[in-house]
Amino acid sequence: MPELPEVETTRRGLIPRLSGKAIRSVLVRDRRLRWPVPTDLESRLSGATIQSLHRRGKYLLVSVNKARLDEHVLIHLGMTGTLRVLEEPAPAGKHDHIEVRLKDGQLLRYADPRRFGCWLWAGRDWASHPLLASLGPEPFDAAFNAAYLHSATRGRSASIKSVIMNAGIVTGVGNIYANEALFRAGIHPLTRAGRLSVERLGELVEQIRAVLAEAIEAGGSSIRDYVQSDGASGWFQLRYAVYGRAGEACRTCGADIRVTRDAQRATFFCSRCQKR
Ligand SMILES: [Zn+2]
């Protein structure tokens, strides 16, 4: 599933190819995404110019304008969505649901086998869109810091892992990176959030940023392949310390990495390196 680093990598890969480009036409083959693709997507986007791409959490926002249109398209990749730019036309596969043809001949193609993604209008003021309005700060925002996380967790008996995966508290920390950041910070994922000191939460903030930045960096080095590819390429991966390593040895202490479930999500940890 694309997480924040994959979405940010997608954004960075698309910006130089799409910014300032005029849209010739749009083709929607299947409107049945998580929510129906608006029926006026084609007519309103045709002839518009793409201004820029923003990211909020795992949402992409494409600014488009033309006469009397100053809008944002809100895109979420869901579980299996990908956006690729093709320089040469290639036959569409059965999961290629949306195509945006640019006047320069390039084609932006959206594929999504499981169709949990979305393409929606977000208006001129995208931040107030219902899907975005209640999101917490971005992990890289100054507003996401030790004091903030400390006050947001007081009195909470929920696990620290479920708290940092709560998009209302901090947006875009998915399961993989929550597991990895908690390992790096030496915090057991099932620790009650309200019991953690401001110092330990500060370390967690730093490690969330570090692991996301490394993943974005890892993706950045493969942007070219990723954006060009028309095949079903997997997402890049960091060398995970705990995620997906149940039963394998912790690289720090040699103990077995364990797995449990927390809030229905697979939760990996080293019981020696990570303290409650
Ligand atoms: Zn260990």
CA of 270 to the centre of ligand 1 (A): 5
User: Among 93, 124, 155, where does a domain finish?
Assistant: 124
Look at residue 239 and give its three-state secondary structure: coil
pLDDT given for residue 6 in this prediction = 87
Is 114 found in the same domain as 12?
Answer: yes
Is 8 found in the same domain as 48?
Answer: yes
Look at residue 108 and give its three-state secondary structure: strand
pLDDT given for residue 1 in this prediction = 76
Is 96 found in the same domain as 56?
Answer: yes
Classify residue 114: in a domain, yes or no: yes
Residue 141 DSSP one-character state: S
Enter the pTM of the model: 0.90
Classify residue 55: in a domain, yes or no: yes
Classify residue 215: in a domain, yes or no: yes
CATH number at residue 12: 3.20.190.10
Is 151 found in the same domain as 263?
Answer: yes
Selecting among 3, 99, 180, 203, the annotated active-site residue is 3
| Residues of the chain falling short of pLDDT 70 | 220-237
Q: Give CA separation, 171 vs 28, 45, 166, 219, in Å.
A: 30, 29, 7, 20
Classify residue 135: in a domain, yes or no: no
Classify residue 129: in a domain, yes or no: no
Is 158 found in the same domain as 120?
Answer: no
pLDDT given for residue 218 in this prediction = 81
pLDDT given for residue 220 in this prediction = 56
66 a catalytic residue? no
Is 262 found in the same domain as 206?
Answer: yes
Is 25 found in the same domain as 88?
Answer: yes
Classify residue 253: in a domain, yes or no: yes
Is 111 found in the same domain as 11?
Answer: yes
- Domain boundaries, position 44: 4-124
Is 158 found in the same domain as 66?
Answer: no
Classify residue 68: in a domain, yes or no: yes
3 a catalytic residue? yes
Is 264 found in the same domain as 150?
Answer: yes
Is 83 found in the same domain as 195?
Answer: no
pLDDT given for residue 235 in this prediction = 54
pLDDT given for residue 69 in this prediction = 77
The span from the CA of 65 to the CA of 174, in Å, is 32
The number of distinct structural domains making up the chain is 2
Is 48 found in the same domain as 95?
Answer: yes
pLDDT given for residue 234 in this prediction = 45
- Tell me which residue of 28, 61, 60, 20 sits closest to 44, measured CA to CA: 28
pLDDT given for residue 246 in this prediction = 97
Phi, psi (deg, nearest 5) at residue 21: -90, 145
CA of 197 to the centre of ligand 1 (A): 22
11 within 8 A of 17, measured Cβ to Cβ: no
Residues 6 or more apart in contact with residue 44 via CB below 8 angstroms: 69, 71
CA of 186 to the centre of ligand 1 (A): 9
- Tell me which residue of 105, 88, 100 sits closest to 44, measured CA to CA: 100
CA of 55 to the centre of ligand 1 (A): 35
